[in-house]
A and B are shown apart, each in its own frame.
Chain A
Amino acid sequence: FHRLFILLVHAHFISKMAAVQDGQVDLEVEKKEIKTETSNDGSGNNNANSSSPGSTSLGATSKSPTGPAEDQQTLLAVLQFLKRNKLNESVDILRREAGLSVEIDDSPGSASGGAGSGGASNSTVDGGDTNSLLSRVSIAIPAAPAVTAAPVPPKGLDQPDVNVVLSAYSQQGDPDLYPLYYNGLKKFIESVLDCHRAELSQVFYPLFVHMYLELVYNNHEVEAKQFFEKFSGDQECYYAEDLRILSGMTKKEHMKGNETMLDFRTSKFVLRISRDSYQLLKRHLQERQNNQIWNIIQEHLYIDIFDGMPRSKSQIDAMSGSLAGEAKRDANKTKVFYGLLKEPEIEVPLDDEDEEAENEEGKPKKKKPKKDSMGSKSKKQDPNAPQQTRIPLPELKDSDKLDKIMNMKEAAKKIRLGSDNLPSICFYTFLNAYQGLTAVDITDDSSLIAGGFADSTVRVWSVTPKKLRRVKSAADLSNIDKESDDVLERIMDEKTASESKILYGHSGPVYGISFSPDRNYLLSSSEDGTVRLWSLQTFTCLVGYKGHNYPVWDTQFSPYGYYFVSGGHDRVARLWATDHYQPLRMFAGHLADVTCTRFHPNSNYVATGSADRTIRLWDVLNGNCVRILTGHKGPIHSLAFSPNGKFMASGATDGRVLLWDIGHGLMIGELKGHTDTIYALRFSRDGEILASGSMDNTVKLWDTLKAFDDVELDDFTAATGHIHLPENSQELLLGSYTTKSTPVIHLHFTRRNLLLAAGAYNP
């Protein structure tokens, strides 16, 4: 069976179909299976539609929970898919492997029909036995939220066509009654006790959206417009963007291929409601026999019920705003090893090295740890750290060790930052960047700066007196005395020395750029759908990684090198290794573009920010999504991990920076102050200061030490995730520094804690 999947995957690749989107292809030798995400995502992964980039029905197969019946079903679905795509050879192989008879194979028509009708039956029970349905749900939910999905099998399991997905909307109701229903519910919610009102009001938005879509789908254009005009004003302001898209969509034909619509349709909107509030709502709907609404709630909403105090409006507002509601509580239950890997033991010819090592346990320090079996005995293992060998990391080279020693020496001279000791800021302004500067990166040792431009070029500058030189040509290299001590110097071609070099190769704007930690390589991701690896020795392109078939918005090297991550318009983030032309992992689950990608300092996790206004944390080892963080009200454009790996900061187009505790999966701070998209975030080397740079031409410094200290995490909040955010973002703001007319698009702390910022002068 496992081999079968390999074959499948193989077939998948050779057939050059759109890449697998849903479910991560796990190439790890032991596992060899397509990872499922059932617990995290429900049917949210099912992006199956013709216009959604690179989506195929294959993803749908991964949805089914394990179990013989589902296995069978899955197989059938796969077979069907293969047949439809005329992969007869694969079909044969699969049949043979699975031992399926032809009869069974021929039956899927009925099987899928059954599934389809199953879905349909759910939608046609309008007037049916609502009470029993209700009771079934109410029992199911508290028991195991995951099971709630069971009564309503994932739509389009076998027939992922858009039409089928949409057909869920085909239930007919009197269009004139829609406003009445909505109004009724509105009146009811307004009349309930204050403590429940805020919670129940969450229902408005998804209800509104789905009722509107139903109206549109059933060709009640006029009614839909009226409905929209009447109730769109009631929705929270942070949904304005989506509402705008919705309002433009007034025809059934438009629903086909509209990504936002499909996001609504294919994913369940997740609400968190306390048990009391939920009972209230249920009772009301039962009394009124309000089936229309009930059906929508049942089909398109996922109500995550918790015991305890209902949440306040501000608590709800802090967490909501994403495209698909909040994260389910159990989505963030997985343990995350956020600790740092142990430092390698390197003999440093300095006396103060011992001090350094001792400091390490006490205070978090951004250093490149490196697994080293030799030295691991001497230091205690951080309980929160992953095993050193959890993911294989490259061996240290001699040059890396040298660099590490340099790093430590520099770190010894590091300035201790704090609220009373702010860093000086050095701003690198790109002048004459008519081409449009789209991305910047600075090496860890702050010796090189690279810019990606909208004219497809990548430019590298040396910001030290040391010029950039190319390695000599092969012919010249053969003449070099390889035994000489300065061979590394001799291989460089002095004639090519210059302050900057231009790298040509992309055929679209370069949106993401990243130096390798050893400064030998540079990654760039572009609108042309490729990620390119450049050598900084020869200043040529080494590899073009093709996998994203759509613009790649961001890319970043692992802090240990070798691995890198990329994310793009196809809503998938991919993990690559520099020596593999295919991705090692595919992180799928976002409902919209993956806009930024960051490695966790211990390289075991990858964080991705998305235009669906969520942040996800993925486990590199198994490709699982281990955290879903909601709360932003706009596409997320910047992420940063604190050097100790415990916290994360994120910035979005809404101009807010949110702070997260990774271990608990909780939002622990909100930093308000920017007025435009935040494109750059960076923690100081010791994590005491967070610098944020924005389109509004400012760099702001925040006291993160205080922000993290102020958070009180008792068991209850940790368990429920309902945190009261301290309203102290103005106290946390340590300074705001404006440029003349230069949006800040990159920030970097040098090893001595000088803040570097970069951006293009924008006259």
Chain B
Amino acid sequence: MADREERRFAEVPRESVKLMSESAGVELSDELAALLAEDVCYRLREATQSSSQFMRHAKRRKLTVEDFNRALRWSNVEAIAGYGAQDALPFRPIKEGELFFVEDREINLVELALATNIPKGCAETMVRVNVSYLDGKGNLEPQGTVPSAVQTLSEDLLKYYQQVTRAILGEDPHLMKVALLDLQSNSKMAALLPYFVYVISGVKSVSHDLEQLNRLLHMVKSLVQNPYLYLGSYVRSLVSSVMYCILEPLAASINPLNDHWTLRDYAALLLSHIFWTHGDLVSGLYHQILLSLQKVLSDPVRPLCSHYGAVVGLHALGWKAVERVLYPHLPAYWSNLQAVLDDYSVSNAQVKADGHKVYGAILVAVERLLKMKALSLSLPAERGFGAQPGSGGVAGFRVSSPGLSPPPEPLSEAALGIASHLQGPGGAGTPWEDWTPVPLPAMYCELYSFFGDSLAVRLSTGPSLGGCPPSALSQPADTRKEPPGPAANPDTARKMPQLTANLNVSPRQDGSPRPEPAPPSLAATAPGRALARSSSSSSIQRRNSSSRPGQRSVGPSRDVFPKARFPPPQAGPPAFSFLIGGRQTGRRCQGRRFQTSFSPAPPPSSAPPRTYAHKLPVIGRVGKPLRRWTCSHYSLHLPL
């Protein structure tokens, strides 16, 4: 009974009635108004009641204005005009005072009449058949096919399809742009999706034509970006087309003049885009992609461009993918790559150039891996804590920042499921079952052994993220383009200088090893640390303590160079700095000469972030005069 009392009817207050009557020019006494108000309420209820039967007979759940008007008409009351719109009328309150009103926008009739975008006629009412076949027990059997009659395209759609495909694959770039834009925003072409997907799957037949491939990829992009399309299982098909562009040794890549690298980069970018926006549509997509990437990577028969594709693909999928697939695989892969890079025969020139591309791509990937890893450590921790990745690393490993981890499935789960497929052919890659997160320092050390100083450049910026005000970071670093992939932190990305950009985006400059003119003084200024190596195969530097499961072809040279030195934690502010004597030039290989300092945690008080930030970009860029920082506390022990 109590709840019945609460269920009151809507009531029209007598003030409203008085107001109405006044607007009609009639004065009403309070008493009269109250009576009228009550009667109005009753009549309203009555009309509502009888309007509900029109709703019921129209077999609807929603009472419409139309129903109400019918009820009024049948009780000989004038219908209310002006509310016949099909869509719901917004009912809004006014914040001040308890006033509610129906929004009644004014419509500019002139504009409406002269509008050029006349809405197209609604689709025709039609009947469509679905059959549920039941077996004897009443269980549903697989659905029959829909009769083709109801699925055929309308004339308009067919025309649209022809025009768009012709425009995109045709010669006119302007027309293409228009078509792509429309594809990106057209809400009525859902029926054409399978056809477009089919066209896109034609990448395999035009692998000789970079231009066409590019256009098809653009088409993919437009489709993916179209908010009105539900891609559904077509995602799989699109992904396979994109993967083809990333991984396959395209016919176009035979000619070194063809810039198929850019195509792969773009495709990888697209892959990550599809994956991040539509990855949830297909279950297991992430791991299928990872699997195929890993397969390519671990297949030594594949050309380097395929490997390159795999690396950029992994990079595009995020640092976790890199950590999971590329990193364990690196030691095995390195030997192959090294062999290529060390072959200086003329016949190998082209392959070597390709090898450098791969090298660069791997470098970029692992750099970001390190950075993001450090970031993921520092993010959950307090600033002070995060400043010490060396000590705090292990504790923070399990904590992953949500934005950086791939969305569809937890990694651990997949690691088990796919593990069996992932036994690297050579057994070189770390099997996924055994995969355990490598602590950051260990990882760093291992990677450092491959890449030397070129790695440390970028890593150093990671942990200081929190401390550096953005203004300080706006160093005139000539970053030409951001590296592809979901760069989670713009700051880190921005600080990634030239090298990254070179590797990824402008590969053409990159036919040979790093083109930087290494200042000869570098080697000299690192007394005892840097030695000229006669064999570049020994260009791997490792920390003494690191235990690497990979091959150790460079054994003897390893211990000669102490690479990094972690000073013991000091009392006072948790400063963390170490020096790196970079591996220096091999005589025949003129490139890869780096020096850097790795100081992930500048004590906030001891060093103004500004000076710190100032020197950062320069460190990797040996081409620039570096004298300014000679006196810096954080700089190398080299008189730069």
Residues of A within 8 A of B (CB): 51, 229-230, 232-233, 245, 248-251, 253-254, 258, 420-438, 449, 451, 453-454, 459, 461, 463, 500, 508-509, 511, 527, 550-551, 553, 569, 593, 595, 611, 635, 637, 653, 677, 679, 695, 701, 734-735, 737, 743, 745, 758
Give how many B residues have a beta carbon under 8 Å from the other chain's beta carbons.
41
A229 touching B74, Cβ below 8 Å:
no
User: Does B552 have its Cβ within 8 Å of any Cβ on chain A?
Assistant: no
- Nearest A-chain residue to B124, judged by Cβ: A432
User: B81 to chain A: which residues have CB within 8 Å?
Assistant: none
User: Known contacts A420-B136, A422-B138; can you find 18 more A-B pairs with CB under 8 A?
Assistant: A229-B4, A232-B1, A422-B136, A425-B131, A425-B132, A426-B129, A426-B130, A426-B131, A429-B130, A430-B126, A431-B126, A432-B122, A434-B122, A500-B126, A511-B57, A553-B57, A637-B56, A735-B138
Beta-carbon contact of A436 and B74 below 8 Å = no
With contacts A249-B42, A737-B140 known, is A430 near B125, CB below 8 A?
Answer: yes
* Chain A residues in 8 Å Cβ range of B123: 431-432
> How far in angstroms is the closest Cβ of chain B from A49?
14
Closest CB of chain B to A744's CB: distance in Å? 10
Tell me the smallest distance from the CB of A540 to a CB of chain B, in Å: 20
A637 to B131, CA, bound (A): 26
B59: interface (CB < 8 Å):
yes
Which 7 pairs between the two chains have the least Cβ-Cβ distance? A233-B1, A735-B138, A422-B138, A432-B123, A427-B130, A425-B132, A248-B45
Contact A463 B49 (CB under 8 A): no
B174 on the interface (CB 8 Å rule)? Answer: no
A250 surroundings in chain B (CB, below 8 A): 38, 42
Q: Choose from B39, B57, B133, B140 the contact partner of A253 (Cβ within 8 Å).
A: B39
The 0/1 profile, CB within 8 Å of A marked 1, for residues 83-110 of chain B is 0001000000000000000000000000
CB-CB under 8 A from A508, the residues of chain B are 70
B23-42 vs A, Cβ < 8 Å mask (1 yes, 0 no): 00000000000000011011
A593-B128 in contact (CB<8A): no
- The verdict on B46 contacting chain A, using a C-beta distance below 8 Å, is yes
A527 touches B70 (CB 8 A): yes
Instruction: Provide 26 A-B residue pairs closer than 8 Å at the C-beta atoms, listed in order of the A residue.
Output: A229-B1, A229-B5, A232-B1, A233-B4, A248-B45, A254-B39, A420-B136, A423-B134, A426-B130, A427-B131, A430-B126, A431-B128, A432-B123, A432-B125, A436-B58, A437-B59, A454-B66, A463-B127, A509-B54, A509-B58, A527-B70, A551-B57, A551-B70, A551-B74, A653-B56, A735-B134
**A427 contact set on B, CB distance < 8 A:** 129-132
Residues of B within 8 A of A423 (CB): 134
Residues of B within 8 A of A745 (CB): 59
**Known contacts A233-B4, A461-B127, A436 near B60 by CB under 8 Å:** yes
Chain B nearest CB, measured from A151 CB (Å): 35
Q: Is the C-beta of B53 less than 8 angstroms from some C-beta in chain A?
A: yes
On chain B, the residues within 8 Å of A735 by CB distance are 134, 138
A431 pairs with B133, CB closer than 8 A: no
Q: Which residue of B lies closest to A258 (CB)?
A: B46
The answer to whether B137 and A420 touch across the interface, beta carbons within 8 angstroms, is yes
Q: Across the interface, which residues of B come within 8 angstroms of A431, CB to CB?
A: 123, 125-128
Q: Whole-angstrom distance between the alpha carbons of A248 and B42 in the complex?
A: 6
Contact between A454 and B58, CB atoms less than 8 A apart: yes
Task: Evaluate whether A429 and B128 lie within 8 angstroms (CB atoms) in the complex, with A248-B42, A424-B133, A550-B74 already known.
Answer: yes
With both beta carbons as reference points, the residue of chain B lying nearest to A459 in the complex is identified as: B125
The reply to whether B122 and A611 contact each other, CB–CB distance below 8 Å, is no
A421 and B66 alpha carbons, distance in the complex (Å): 45
A680 to B124, CA, bound (A): 25
* A701 close to B138 (CB less than 8 A): yes
Known: A230-B1, A677-B56, A695-B61. A425 touches B127 (CB 8 A): no
B138 in contact with A734 (CB, 8 Å): yes
For the complex, what is the distance from the CA of A500 to the CA of B140, rounded to whole Å? 31
Contacts of B56 in A (CB 8 A): 635, 637, 653, 677
- Across the interface, name the chain A residue whose C-beta is closest to B57: A511
Specify which chain A residues have a CB less than 8 angstroms from the CB of B129 in the assembled complex.
Answer: 426-429, 463
Q: Please determine whether B42 and A737 come into contact, CB atoms closer than 8 angstroms.
A: no
CB-CB under 8 A from A569, the residues of chain B are 53, 74
Instruction: State how many angstroms separate the Cβ of B129 from the closest Cβ of chain A.
Output: 6
Do A254 and B128 touch across chains, with their CB atoms under 8 A apart?
no
Chain A residues, CB < 8 A from B66: 454
Query: Residues of B contacting A248 with CB < 8 Å?
Result: 9, 41-42, 45-46
Task: Determine if B57 and A438 form an interchain contact, defined as CB atoms under 8 angstroms apart.
Answer: yes
B233-251 to A contact mask, C-beta < 8 Å, 1/0: 0000000000000000000
Cβ B59 vs Cβ A424 within 8 A = no
Separation of A225 and B251 alpha carbons in the complex (Å): 88
CB distance from A184 to the nearest CB of B (A): 19
CB distance from B251 to the nearest CB of A (A): 45
Q: Please give, as numbers and ranges, the residues of chain A lying within 8 Å of B39 by CB-CB distance.
A: 251, 253-254
Q: Kindly state the separation between the CA atoms of A432 and B126 in the bound complex, as whole angstroms.
A: 7
- A245, A429, A459, A611, most chain B CB atoms within 10 A: A429
- Cα–Cα distance between A482 and B540 once the two chains are bound (Å): 102
Tell whether, in the assembled complex, residue B9 and residue A424 are in contact, meaning their CB atoms are under 8 Å apart.
Answer: no
Which residues 42-76 of B have a CB within 8 angstroms of A?
A: 42, 45-46, 49, 53-54, 56-61, 66, 70, 74-75
Which residues from B are CB-within-8-Å of A420? 136-137
Question: In the complex, what residues of B have CB within 8 A of residue A637's CB?
Answer: 56
**Chain B nearest CB: distance from A62 CB in Å?**
27
B127, A429: Cβ atoms under 8 Å? Answer: yes
With A432-B123, A432-B126, A449-B127 as given contacts, are A595 and B57 in contact (CB-CB < 8 Å)?
Answer: yes
With contacts A245-B49, A553-B57 known, is A435 near B125, CB below 8 A?
A: yes
Give A453's nearest chain B residue, CB to CB.
B125
Question: Closest Cβ of chain A: how far from B544's Cβ, in Å?
Answer: 66
Interfacial chain B residues near A229, Cβ < 8 Å:
1, 4-5
In the complex, which of the residues B41, B54, B75, B132 has the most CB atoms of chain A within 10 Å of its own CB atom? B132
* Across-interface contacts of A635 in B (CB, < 8 A): 53, 56
Q: Which of A422, A509, A595 contacts B134 (CB 8 A)?
A: A422
Interface centre among A454, A593, A635, A743 (most CB of B within 10 A): A454
Give the chain B neighbours of A463 by CB distance below 8 A. 127, 129
Residue numbers in B under 8 Å from A425 (CB-CB) = 131-132, 134
- Contacts known (A424-B131, A432-B123, A695-B59); A251 close to B53, Cβ less than 8 A: no
- In the complex, per-residue mask of B1-33: 1 if CB is within 8 Å of any chain A CB, else 0: 100110001000000000000000000000000
Question: Looking across the interface, which residue of chain A has its beta carbon closest to that of B44?
Answer: A248
Q: With both chains docked as a complex, state the minimum distance between the C-beta of B596 and any C-beta of chain A, in angstroms.
A: 60
| Residue in B closest to A465 when the chains form the complex, CB atoms | B149
In whole angstroms, how far apart are the Cα atoms of A250 and B11 in the complex? 14
Residues of A within 8 A of B130 (CB): 426-427, 429
